Amino acid sequence: MKKLLFGSAMLAALAIGNSAMAADLPAAPVYKAPVIAPAPWYDWTGFYIGLNGGYSWGRAANTYSVAGVPLVSTTTSMNGWVGGGQAGYNWQFNRNWIVGVEADIQATGQRGSLLLPNSAPCPLVVVAVVPCTITSGGVEQKLPWFGTARARLGFEPADRWMLYVTGGLAFGEVETTATVNTVTTAGAGGPVTATASAVASSNVTRAGWTVGGGAEWVISGPWTAKVEYLYVDLGTVTNNFAGIGAFAPLTASSHVTDNIVRLGVNYRFGGPVVARY
């Protein structure tokens, strides 16, 4: 009986000792999975400048009047290349949205022409000794330059890509040149006895509006490229010409619009590219 009690006491002592030793051992480390930060997105904030070039499909809806009497109404195409530069500033907010302002100035090769209807031919009943004058003419229109000042609202559907709409003020110069040629003959079918020509020009600068949209994407670092469409409406340009033969005084009223597609490249200032999370 004494041996049994002694053995039980020894086992209890060993159990207590083992518990004390286990309490003194350091706890096993607990490992957690690393936190992975979201991928950075390009930040469009900053001032930028750039160059662009493209093509324009212009249109002038014209009404020509002589001495206040409508002579002819027609449409003249004013197509040609466009090229110039732009500058602007972007603010990015809420990660995906961009607002900004942009101004540009463009030189163009846009021009179109129209032949005015000839005056009535010499009547056959006129004898050869009676002079007869036939008048013909034409009008050429050009858009030497134009510019815009616009707001932009953009959205990033994917990193380093921006889709945007834009609109604001447009302004430009419309140059109109009218030419009149006269041929005087010695009656119907008779020999030419005199020729004359007259040229009158007018340059008018008009302000209107523009709206459009485009896409811009990052090439590398601060360099971006864009493709853009703009519709430009310069309103109605009215030119009065005096002293151009049988068509004097000639009034030309033209409603000038433009459809422009262009490519461009921009460089953004303000230090290194800043990533947004």
* Residue range 105-155, pLDDT digits in tens: 999 999 988 777 666 666 655 555 567 777 777 788 999 999 999 999 999
pLDDT the model gives residue 142: 92
Q: Which amino acid is at 260?
A: I
Q: Report the pLDDT value the prediction gives residue 69, as an integer from 0 to 100.
A: 75
pLDDT at 16: 53
Are 59 and 75 spatial neighbours (Cβ–Cβ below 8 Å)? yes
CA 139 to chain CA centroid, nearest Å:
28
Q: Which amino acid is at 160?
A: R
Residue in 72, 47, 75, 79 with CA at minimum distance from that of residue 60? 75
Strand partners, 10: none
What's the pLDDT at 184?
Answer: 76
What is the predicted pLDDT for the residue at 181? 77
Domains and their CATH numbers in the chain: 41-276 (2.40.160.20)
**Which pLDDT tens digit goes with each residue over 19-63?**
555 455 555 565 565 655 555 678 899 999 999 999 999 999 988
Question: What pLDDT, in 10s, does the model give residues 157-211?
Answer: 999 999 999 999 999 999 988 887 777 776 656 666 667 677 778 889 999 999 9
Q: What is the DSSP letter of 272?
A: S
Q: Give the count of beta carbons closer than 10 Å to the beta carbon of residue 10.
A: 10
Q: Are 210 and 273 in contact (CB under 8 A)?
A: no
Instruction: Give CA–CA dist 210/201, Å, rounded.
Output: 27
Compute the distance between CA of residue 168 and CA of residue 107 in angstroms, rounded to an integer.
19
pLDDT in tens, 251-267: 888 899 999 999 999 99
The full 3-state SS of 121-160, as one line of letters, equals CCCCCCCCCCCEEEEEEEEEEEEEEEEEEEEEEEEEEECC
Checking phi first, is residue 245 left (phi over 0); if not, alpha (psi -120 to 50) or beta? Answer: left
Structure tokens at 162: 């921006």
Note the pLDDT of residue 272. 45
CA 130 – CA 215 distance, rounded (Å): 68
* pTM of the entire predicted model: 0.76
Which tokens hold the place of 214? 């485009």
Cβ-contact 121, 72 below 8 angstroms: no
Per-residue DSSP letters for 220-256? Answer: ETTEEEEEEEEEEEEEEEEEEE-S-GGG-SEEEEEEE
